[in-house]
Every structure is written in C-alpha cells, then in structure tokens.
Structure 1
C-alpha cells in the first residue's frame, strides 16, 4: 500500500512539473501570463482526476473514485473556462507582469523556476484528491456526500462571485470604482474564499478511522489558504488595486473583510470614502 501511494505521489509531481513547463512555453510564446493560471487549473483537474482513478491492488475504480474524479473535473472545467475567457480579453496578467518587470533580463529563467515551484506546491492538494478517492471502504458514506456538497457550494459560490465582478466591470458607470456589491460587500476576495472552501471537501471525504493516509488530505486547504492569502493571490492583487484605485480601495479595505465573508464594518464619516 505504501509503495502504491508513494508511486502515485511521484507520478503526480512529475505530471505537474511537465504541465507547468508547458505553461511556461505558452507564456513565453504569447506574452500573456494569464494562460499560466488557465493551464494550472486544467492541469490540476487532469492530474487530480487521473490520481482519483489510479488503480490500487489491481482493482478497478469504485464509486468513490469516480465521485472524486467527477468533482475535481467539474471544478477544473468551471474555473479553467472562466480564466481562459478572461485571459483571451487581456494582453497580460498584471500580477505576473509585475514579477517579470522586477526580474528584468532574468525574467524567462525566473519565471520557469517560479512555475516549477508552483508545480511543486500543487503536489499536496492534488495528492489530497488521490487520498480522498482511495479511502479503503467500498461503499459511499454520508461524509462522501457531505464532501461533495461542500465542493459544489464552493464551485457555485466562486462562480457567483466571478459573475458579479464581471457584471460590475462591464457596466460603464462603474469605471474607476471598486466592486462592493453582492458577495464583494462581505469579502474583498469572495472568489478566493469559495476556492479555498472547495478544497475542504477532500479532508471531509478522506478522514476516516484507521486510514492514516487520510491526514495528508489536510494539506489541501492549508496549502490553498497559504497560497491565496499570503503568496500569489491576495498580496499582489491588492497591491495592484491600491495603485489603480488608491483611496477608494483603502476605504474598501477598511470596511470589508479580507477573506472570510463578514458583515461590512461601519466607519466614521470622516474615514469613509465612496467606492
């Protein structure tokens, strides 16, 4: 059993490294870093589904494996398609563009290393998918359906947040303003919150008495929280928003929760700035 799990872990790592190398090639050929996130999303979905269906002890995929594979592919197709549509309408992703400017002439090499680090960092959440799919109990349990429900809520919540932001941006009256309608009134990054919520599904499915590997599934929400809140998610995006929206975004930061949806804070009149 251990050999099988370690073999799957190695295969996941290699597959992600190869696919993120492809993302680097696409980025270098097109100059549009938005395709990096598109390819990453589809890569995680493809490798995750493949890991979910990975045979153990020569047995074919069971109902749980098919359920987990379907869930990760649904997540991947929804998010990947959304990012691809968004990317097709821009010349470059401002977050990656900032990295490239800071790296100067070393940008291609540094970008390749950055994307390989991203591939390496993606191994724990994808391995969590594998672990959840291979719980050694043949029949589906209540917690499998609970995990599926959490993931579906995450997908729907993120899709709603993305749709609200897109509609806000396409309204000419909102040019230069900060989106604070719908879910964006309760969180500055509701799409990231629901993305993180989706990854809680795998520990819910995987944690089971006597299944030591199930604890590895906790790495998925831990990693996604760290990457979204502290690395490539919120920090560069908020820096870019402060440059483009200035005091309007500072006022939005002051009254709106950064990540977890919470009621907006009421500021004294002298501190409030219309968004």
Structure 2
C-alpha cells in the first residue's frame, strides 16, 4: 500500500480516537486521559505502518516493535498516573482561561494532538517503506539507542513515582537518582527515543524526514506544553524548586551546579 494511503488511514483513525476522548472528557471534566491515549494510539500507528508498509521486513518489524513497546510502556505509566486523579494542572489552567469556550477549544486542542502525532509518526513511516536492508552497524546503534532511551525513561518515571508515594516527600523537590542531574530526565530520554528511528532509516532517501520527530518533541517539551507549563506550577507549589531550577539542567543530565550565595 502506498505510504500516502497508509498515512491517510492513520489520520482518520487518530481523528476518531481523539474525538472519542474529547467526548469522554466532556462528562468527566478531566482531560488528563488524553496523555495515555496519545501514547497508545501512536504505538498502534507504528504497527499499522509496519503492516501496510512495503519496505524491508526486518526494518518494519523493528519500527513496529519499537513504537509499540514504547507506546504501551509510556501509555500504561500515564494511565496509572492520571486515572482517578484530579485533572492535570495544565489542562485545568486551560479550562480556567477559556471559560465558556472551553468545550469547543478543548476539541480543537485534542485535534492538535492528531497533527502532532502524524508528524511524529514519520519516525515509523519512513523505515516501514525503506526498500534496502539496513546496515548492521546502524541497526545495532538504533537498537542500542532505543533500549537506552526507553529503559532510561522508565527508570526516571519509577524514581519519581516512588518519591511521590512517600508521604514524607509531600511538597518537596525530587532529587532522587536521575532527578539529581536533570529536572526532567524522563523528557530527555523521550527525545532520545525518537533518534533511534533516524538510525534505523539511514540508507532511505527519505531519512531526512525522521529528523523532524526528535526536533519537534524537544521543542514541544522545552518551549511549549512540557517544561514551561509544568514548571510554572511547580515553582509555586514546591518549596526549593526555584533553587533546583538554578542548579540543575532542565533537560540533559549533568552534575548539578552550586547554588549561588546570597
């Protein structure tokens, strides 16, 4: 099946899925469940492209497995974190700012997730349609980067989850493990994850398209919906978070700096 047709099928499916989630949040008044659905649905798109793709079979399998395992792992983590909990502060802030227009604007916000997902899905589409066999070296590097990124993100998520589950940590800043070296190590490994598909696509004339997903993800997390909105809330609710911001890198893990003296 031509890649354009596969992409159109994915687009229609995502529009239907996110429209259903929007309808769900109208009743629950909790938009936070869009996060796990986003991860699950993008993992499903990776499998869809592999099934419909006409490229090298080994590359298709790796792209499908990579996207599926990543999506299931992240989606399950987000589901456990959000289900039955109060609405995420980011979405609550949107509701407050949008007022009576919140239902309509939330619908288009959810459809924006479709656009973002389609752009990210280029990471799966390109390798699904590459006709040449991947170089063994690039294949090994792709798998190594994928493993390091997904395992690293899982470790960061687990460390933060355990920190939050400790009642003595309430209101404090997490500096446990990876969080001592980065304010958002989970976001760092999320960006690195998308790099693995660049390596998997080297040799395809369309490899340049796979540069977009990691760049887009980094921009979203650093400049738009990730770190800026999250830290605006944390700076107000976490004692010592301002110092944490001064001494610890936002994204790339690095030894913390000394706090400036007054």
User: How many Å separate the matches in 1 of 2:175 and 2:24?
Assistant: 34
Equivalent of 1:259 in 226, 251, 261: 251
Over 3 Å counting, the alpha-carbon distance change for 1:202 and 1:192 in structure 2 is: same
Q: Is the 8 A contact 1:150 1:200 kept in 2?
A: yes
Equivalent of 2:215 in 218, 222, 225: 222
| 5+ residue gaps, structure 1 | 271-275
Q: Is the 8 A contact 1:158 1:191 kept in 2?
A: yes
The residue number in structure 2 matching 1:115 is 110
User: How many Å separate the matches in 1 of 2:123 and 2:141?
Assistant: 16
Equivalent of 1:81 in 58, 76, 80: 76
User: How many Å separate the matches in 2 of 1:146 and 1:66?
Assistant: 16
How much does 1:139 deviate? 6.0
Over 3 Å counting, the alpha-carbon distance change for 1:139 and 1:118 in structure 2 is: closer
User: How many Å separate the matches in 1 of 2:259 and 2:86?
Assistant: 38
Higher deviation after alignment, 63-72 or 76-85: 63-72
Question: Where has structure 1 moved over 4 Å in runs of 4 or more?
Answer: none
User: How many Å separate the matches in 1 of 2:24 and 2:212?
Assistant: 29
How much does 1:229 deviate? 1.2
User: How many Å separate the matches in 2 of 1:152 and 1:26?
Assistant: 34
User: How many Å separate the matches in 2 of 1:146 and 1:89?
Assistant: 40
Equivalent of 2:31 in 30, 33, 43: 33
Q: Is the 8 A contact 1:186 1:256 kept in 2?
A: yes
Equivalent of 1:152 in 147, 168, 175: 147
Equivalent of 1:9 in 1, 4, 7: 7
* 3-state secondary structure, aligned to 1:44: helix
Equivalent of 2:130 in 131, 135, 145: 135
User: How many Å separate the matches in 2 of 1:251 and 1:115?
Assistant: 34
How much does 1:235 deviate? 1.0
User: How many Å separate the matches in 2 of 1:191 and 1:251?
Assistant: 20
Over 3 Å counting, the alpha-carbon distance change for 1:265 and 1:119 in structure 2 is: same
Q: Is the 8 A contact 1:26 1:35 kept in 2?
A: no
* TM value normalised by structure 1: 0.90
Equivalent pairs, count: 262
How much does 1:269 deviate? 3.9
How much does 1:54 deviate? 1.5
Equivalent of 2:179 in 184, 189, 195: 184
How much does 1:5 deviate? 2.4
CA deviation map 1:20-64 (0-9, x unaligned): 1122122222222221101111110111221122232xx8x7122
Q: Is the 8 A contact 2:53 2:129 kept in 1?
A: no
| 5+ residue gaps, structure 2 | none
